[in-house]
Amino acid sequence: MKLKHLPHCLALSAGLFSGQQVLASDLLYWQDNSLSYLYGENFQRMNFNGEEQRTQTTFTFEHASGWVWGDVFYFLDYIRTDNVQSRGSFDNGSFRQHDKDSFYYMEFSPRVSLSWLTGQKLAAGPIKDVFAAFTYEKGEGGPGPENYLYGIGLDWEVPGFTYFKTNLYQVKINNHTFFADSDSNGYATQLTVSAAYPFSLGDQDFVVDGFLDWRSPSRDAGTQTSVGSSIQVKWDAGKALFSKERQLYVGTEINMWRAKYGVKPVDGSDDRFDQTAVQALVKYHF
């Protein structure tokens, strides 16, 4: 297993966590860090023969923080599979398929409040604030992406929701390995919606949260329209078992794709890779 970029991702994770302690003054409003363990099946291998992975184990570090200037969201997944997942690359103009049984994926998403930047409160109706939104994506699984996203974000006031955010991005696609040729760059548009909704049943507390990404096709990159989402339904086990609220959660995550990664099969067909994977979840916040 070659994870040459993983040390940099781990360093970023550690830096985000430790950096909060140094800067936790007037600049930092809040922060949340968590570790998750997920175990599930029916993940699309994208190996062009329709076979799916039987199981997949994922370890995730997540960080979210609110600052005087905006907010930050970051996560790092380390994934192990019970069989190989296919990916590919172009070498000297010819496509070569590579198989891996472990890989990582990360996203780093800072947003700058335009209210803070301009000194004018940019709020109207249900819109709480407007942001300059950025995301960096890097990973080894599937197409092995390295993508840069930039655009506009909105925070919404929606009754009952802890948060409701939308970001509209321009996506610069780099190093995508499932292209029609070796010119692996292109542009697309992406809409990301993320939200959290807490609720109670009797004296038991639950939360439903997650995100949905819609990405347009890219002619230059050879990708098609894709929709991906991860939705978590979690029970506050820490409150029920140890009288510690919002710390330990147990539940499930549903990971769904229509045209996973926007990848088109290299055989030139109009087929796509769809996925519905259900995972058991344990999540600890610290």
CA nearest neighbour of 59 among 15, 103, 108:
103
DSSP 244: -
**Enclosing domain of residue 47:** 6-285
Q: Is 237 inside a domain boundary? A: yes
- What distance in Å separates the CA atoms of residue 161 and residue 177, rounded to the nearest whole number? 38
For the chain, helix, strand, coil in percent to 5 are 10, 60, 30
CA nearest neighbour of 207 among 283, 112, 119:
283
Indicate whether 60 pLDDT > 90: yes
Q: Is 1 inside a domain boundary? A: no
Q: Is 45 inside a domain boundary? A: yes
Neighbours of 107 (CB within 10 A): 16
Percentage of residues of the chain with pLDDT beyond 70: 74
Residues facing residue 31 across a β-bridge = 65
What pLDDT band is residue 141 in, cutting at 50, 70 and 90?
A: low
**Helix, strand, or coil (residue 141):** coil
Position 270 scores a pLDDT of 64
Q: Is 180 inside a domain boundary? A: yes
Mean pLDDT over 159-177 rounds to 90
At 94, list the tokens: 């010819």
Q: Among 2-16, 34-48, 63-77, 174-188, which range has the highest average pLDDT?
A: 63-77
Is residue 152 within 8 A of residue 167, CB to CB? The reply is yes
Tell me the Cα Rg of the chain: 20
Give how far Cα 6 sits from Cα of 84, 103, 108, 139, 221, Å.
Answer: 19, 9, 14, 9, 25
Position 1 scores a pLDDT of 41
Give how far Cα 256 sits from Cα of 44, 52, 212, 229, Å.
Answer: 10, 14, 9, 5
Mean of the per-residue pLDDT values for the chain? 85
The phi-psi region of residue 261 (left if phi > 0; otherwise alpha if psi is between -120 and 50; otherwise beta) is left
Mean pLDDT over 124-130 rounds to 98
Q: Is 138 inside a domain boundary? A: yes
Place of tokens 């916040």: 285
Q: Is 55 inside a domain boundary? A: yes
Select the more confidently predicted residue: 273 or 91.
273
| CATH code, domain with 13 | 2.40.230.20
Position 26 scores a pLDDT of 81
Select the more confidently predicted residue: 23 or 193.
193
> pTM to 2 decimals?
0.85
Position 176 scores a pLDDT of 61
Q: Is 21 inside a domain boundary? A: yes
Is residue 254 within 8 A of residue 230, CB to CB? The reply is yes
Q: How many domains does the chain have?
A: 1
Q: Is 93 inside a domain boundary? A: yes
Place of tokens 């799916």: 52
| pLDDT tens digits, 243-278 | 999 999 999 999 999 998 888 766 556 678 899 999
- What distance in Å separates the CA atoms of residue 131 and residue 168, rounded to the nearest whole number? 10
